[in-house]
């Protein structure tokens, strides 16, 4: 809740600063088209003791494309809003010990503490609306920051557990063994438990290379986890944390 309040304060500050600072002149609006590459992961804040190691992490081609409009409030400050289509995904494998899981094996669903290997795939396609304040520190360099809202168009959170065993219900429960060959795995799919709206914050920098062309770098951090708050099967809250490297073209 505190994170949401902070983002709403930033949003209100952006809205209130503009009218108080200058009368809106639409001829001064600067419009930029942007394309970028997202690099990051969906992860907890801190690695829990039940995750013993990261065996692999594969980068999934994730991109961002869209536009934003910035209105200058003064020589240095401005306010911007945008609309982007983007993808955020990951494909990784970890080893666990006593990790709480709910899996399906041979059409039977079971829950308990799992020790072994887990393969996880996350894929999200979304529309993102950022609201930002900008500060120009030089003729060519501009800093940005503010909240964003993402509306998910497609989502996936799935994977399988293999080469390990599950203790049903508690550490002394019945032992169910998972093999390391396809068909011996236990699978899971929590895609339906994912939020359709995500709230977060982003900071970034724009660097003007030429009159209309420039480079950008951004870091976005989800303030709400990717799953609904009443979903407790996964022990930790997982946040989308991504960096974006991109280019922009000043249309106006």
The answer to whether the CB of 134 falls within 8 A of the CB of 142 is: yes
CB atoms within 10 A of CB 222: 23
Q: Would you state the pLDDT for residue 11?
A: 53
Q: Would you state the pLDDT for residue 19?
A: 47
Averaged in consecutive runs of 10 residues, what is the pLDDT profile of the chain (252 residues)?
48 49 69 95 84 85 94 91 95 90 86 92 96 93 96 95 90 87 88 94 94 94 90 85 95 86
Q: Would you state the pLDDT for residue 182?
A: 80
Dist. CA 4–CA 131, nearest whole Å: 14
Q: Would you state the pLDDT for residue 1?
A: 44
Domain ranges of the chain: 2-250
3-class secondary-structure state, position 231: coil
Q: What is the pLDDT of residues 25-55, one digit of tens each?
A: 667 889 999 999 999 988 888 788 888 888 8
With the CA atoms of 144, 149, 153 and 156 taken in that order, what torsion angle do they form, in degrees rounded to the nearest 10? Answer: 90
The answer to whether the CB of 170 falls within 8 A of the CB of 112 is: yes
Class of 2-250 in CATH: mainly beta
């Amino acid at each position: 809740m505190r994170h949401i309040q902070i983002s709403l304060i930033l949003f209100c500050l952006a809205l209130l600063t503009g009218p108080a600072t200058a009368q809106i002149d639409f001829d001064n609006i600067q419009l930029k088209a942007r394309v970028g590459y997202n690099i990051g992961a969906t992860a907890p804040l801190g690695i829990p003791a039940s995750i013993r190691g990261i065996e692999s992490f594969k980068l999934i081609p994730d991109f961002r494309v869209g536009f934003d409009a910035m209105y200058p409030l003064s020589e240095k400050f401005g306010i911007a809003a945008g609309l982007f289509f983007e993808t955020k995904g990951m494909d990784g494998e970890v080893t666990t010990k006593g990790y709480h899981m709910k899996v399906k094996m041979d059409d039977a669903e079971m829950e308990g503490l799992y020790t072994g290997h887990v393969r996880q795939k996350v894929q999200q396609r979304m529309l993102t609306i950022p609201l930002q304040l900008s500060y120009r520190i030089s003729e060519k360099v501009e800093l940005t920051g503010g909240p964003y809202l993402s509306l998910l168009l497609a989502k996936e959170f799935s994977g399988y557990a293999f080469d390990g065993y599950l203790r049903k219900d508690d550490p002394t429960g019945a032992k169910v063994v998972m093999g390391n060959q396809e068909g011996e795995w236990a699978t899971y799919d929590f895609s339906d438990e994912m939020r359709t709206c995500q709230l977060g914050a982003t900071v970034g920098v724009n660097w003007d290379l030429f009159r209309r062309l420039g480079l950008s770098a951004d870091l976005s951090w989800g303030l709400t986890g990717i799953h609904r708050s009443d979903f407790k099967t996964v022990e930790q809250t997982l946040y989308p944390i991504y960096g974006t490297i991109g280019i922009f073209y000043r249309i106006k």
